[in-house]
Structure formats: structure tokens, C-alpha cells
């Protein structure tokens, strides 16, 4: 599959210009030409080298298996190490298998949980993992973690940018950084107490970034493939989008750690690195859209509108 075909968030009609752009790029000398003219995202990706991409780490990749297919989730151990460890432990003891997506709230989240969580005699038991954990809403800024700062401001945070393929915010005053609730981000649902989550309930953002949740819930990963298996689910008609009838729920066949599957059963994916000059070019190509279709250049970009391209392994 060509890289362009797996890139998410392709823009209105922009795709049609891709073949022409690739031809122009080739005939003008590839990456050198790219430096001489304003770039489209197609230009940027066409100029990418193998080193601009990074394979998913199978030990930090989850497969959420539904009857409709596989959702691939990249975990974020740099930001929620204890939650990531716990979710993997839950997956490895098959805690999730047979549970269900119990909620799909339009322009907000889908959520998976144990439908019997409130019934002690029926609730799924946990063997080795933990049911709850202290929150990991933010973490201390670590200068060793890469941070590609967005050139634009943000409504919610002093600084925003990307670290290891994830959208993050930073505050130099508090010395904290945290993951951002962009589309496709995965978090650990919780009840009212801050330490009542732990990964037994997971939610995925399927709407406009609910940034008011930042630092209120532990984010632990991002859907990198198959989001449409979640975002196109029928919305629940109960309060908060909960399904009102058990038969409306979508069964979780399994959640697996990719490393536990034989190579032939894994989904071989690469994510564009976010700590490269090429990724800065990509950001610029989205701040000012150079495709012919655009009559007005925004000149800015909001953090959750920056795509993080994913492609199949080469």
C-alpha cells in the first residue's frame, strides 16, 4: 500500500493533486526541490526517508479486537507508565476479553467497560493487575524527552507540541507536561475520586478535542489504525451515550499486546517521527495549505489538527 493511502485526515479534494505533485517533485530533483517551494503534505511525505518513520514497539502496542476488525493502539509509557503497565497486565490476564463497548456519545467518546461492573457477583475478577491506580494526569518535564514545539499558541496550555508521536502540552512554570485529548486519544475512565481509574474502563476520543479533560483523566495511548471501527458506532441513546439495551453493546473479542502475537498475526505499522526536520515541514504544510484548492492560508494550526501519519511497514 502506498504511504499516501494510509495517511489519515487527508483533506478535502487535496488527494487529487497527489499524482501531479509527485511527478513535479521527481522531475525537479526530489528533496532539494522541496526546499525551494512551499510544500504540501504530499510533498513532505514523498520526500520522507526510512529514518523519518518509526515502527511501533510491539511491547507498547495493543490490539483491540472487534467482530468488525482490529483497532491498533500505541501506548504512551513515557506519560502514563503505571497505567500502561497495568493495562498490559489486564490484557495479559484476559481481563478485557468478552467485555463490551458500553457507551458511544456523539462528538465525545466511546468507552469500553465491564457491563457488570456494578454487580459484585457478576463483575469480572482481576487476578494480578490492579483495579485502580494513583492518577498520572501529568508528569515532570524531562529534557531527555523530545519535544517539537508547535509555532502557534494554544487556548488551553502555555506550550503545545509533539513528543514521541503524541500531542503534549507543557508548562514551564509548574515544570509539568501532559498528553492532550485530541481525536483518537485513549484514556482510563474513572469515577469521582482522582485515583479511581486504572485501565479497567478505557475511552477513546471520537469528537472535537475535549480539552477540558486534560489533566483530569489519565491518557495512556492513541489509536493509530482502525478508529473508524469506533467512531462510526451507533450512538447510545441513554444519558452520556450509554447503550440502553445489552444487545446494543459491542463485544470486545480480546485486547492483546502485539508482542504476544506471532509476527504473522501482527499489524506492521510505522508512525512518522515527530522529532525530525521533516515533521516540522509537515506542520508548516498544514499551517499554510499550498494545494490549489485553498484560497486562504490559515497561517496557524491548532495542535489537534496536525496529523501524525501512519503507514504500513515497508
Work out whether 180 is an interface residue with a copy of itself (CB under 8 A).
no
Cross-sheet strand order for the sheet of 269-272: 53-55, 269-272, 310-312
Work out whether 38 is an interface residue with a copy of itself (CB under 8 A).
no
Among 32, 59, 265, 292, binds a copy of itself (CB under 8 A): 292
Alpha carbons within 13 A on the beta-carbon side of 168: 29
Based on CB atoms, which residue is closest to a copy of itself, 229 or 252? 229
**DSSP symbols for 181-215:** --TTEEEE---SSTTS-SSSSEEEE-SS--GGGTT
**DSSP symbols for 226-240:** -THHHHTSPPP-SGG
x/- map, 102-141, a copy of itself, by CB under 8 A: --xxxxxx-------------------------x-x----
Q: Which stretch binds a copy of itself (CB under 8 A): 84-92, 141-149, 180-188, 244-252?
A: 180-188
Based on CB atoms, which residue is closest to a copy of itself, 213 or 255? 213
Alpha carbons within 13 A on the beta-carbon side of 243: 19
Q: How far is CA 198 from CA 78, 189, 249, in A?
A: 16, 8, 22
Work out whether 279 is an interface residue with a copy of itself (CB under 8 A).
no
Distance between CA atoms of 179 and 114, rounded to whole angstroms? Answer: 26
Residue with cell 518513520: 53
Work out whether 301 is an interface residue with a copy of itself (CB under 8 A).
yes
Based on CB atoms, which residue is closest to a copy of itself, 81 or 238? 238
- Residues lying near a copy of itself in the complex (CB under 8 A) are found at 5, 8-13, 15-16, 104-109, 135, 137, 152-156, 182-184, 189, 191-192, 194, 203, 207-217, 227-228, 231-235, 239-240, 286, 289, 292-296, 298, 300-302, 304-305
Amino acid at each position: 500500500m502506498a504511504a499516501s493511502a494510509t495517511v489519515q485526515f487527508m483533506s478535502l479534494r487535496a488527494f487529487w493533486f497527489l499524482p501531479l505533485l509527485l511527478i513535479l517533485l521527481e522531475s525537479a530533483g526530489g528533496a532539494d526541490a522541496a526546499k525551494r517551494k512551499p510544500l504540501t503534505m504530499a510533498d513532505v511525505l514523498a520526500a520522507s526517508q526510512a529514518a523519518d518513520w518509526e515502527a511501533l514497539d510491539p511491547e507498547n502496542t495493543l490490539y483491540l479486537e472487534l467482530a468488525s476488525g482490529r483497532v491498533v493502539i500505541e501506548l504512551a509509557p513515557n506519560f502514563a507508565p503505571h497505567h500502561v503497565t497495568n493495562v498490559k497486565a489486564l490484557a495479559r490476564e484476559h481481563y478485557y476479553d468478552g467485555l463490551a463497548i458500553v457507551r458511544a456519545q456523539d462528538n465525545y467518546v466511546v468507552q469500553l467497560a465491564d457491563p457488570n461492573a456494578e454487580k459484585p457477583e457478576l463483575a469480572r475478577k482481576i487476578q494480578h493487575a490492579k483495579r485502580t491506580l494513583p492518577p498520572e494526569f501529568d508528569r515532570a518535564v524531562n529534557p531527555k524527552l523530545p519535544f517539537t514545539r508547535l509555532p502557534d499558541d494554544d487556548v488551553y496550555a502555555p506550550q503545545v507540541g509533539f513528543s514521541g508521536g503524541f500531542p503534549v502540552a507543557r508548562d514551564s512554570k509548574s515544570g509539568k507536561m501532559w498528553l492532550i485529548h485530541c481525536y483518537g486519544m485513549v484514556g482510563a475512565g474513572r469515577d469521582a475520586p482522582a485515583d479511581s481509574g486504572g485501565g479497567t474502563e478505557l475511552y477513546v476520543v471520537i469528537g472535537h478535542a475535549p480539552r477540558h479533560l486534560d489533566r483530569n483523566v489519565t491518557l495512556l495511548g492513541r489509536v493509530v489504525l482502525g478508529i473508524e471501527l469506533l467512531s462510526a458506532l451507533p450512538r447510545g441513546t441513554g444519558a452520556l451515550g450509554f447503550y440502553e439495551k445489552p444487545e446494543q453493546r459491542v463485544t470486545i473479542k480480546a485486547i492483546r499486546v502485539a508482542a504476544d502475537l506471532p509476527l504473522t498475526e501482527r499489524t506492521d505499522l510505522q508512525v512518522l517521527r515527530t522529532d525530525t526536520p521533516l515533521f516540522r515541514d509537515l506542520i508548516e504544510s498544514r499551517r499554510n495549505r499550498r494545494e490549489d484548492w485553498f484560497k486562504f492560508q490559515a497561517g496557524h494550526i491548532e495542535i489537534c489538527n496536525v496529523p501524525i501519519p501512519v503507514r504500513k511497514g515497508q
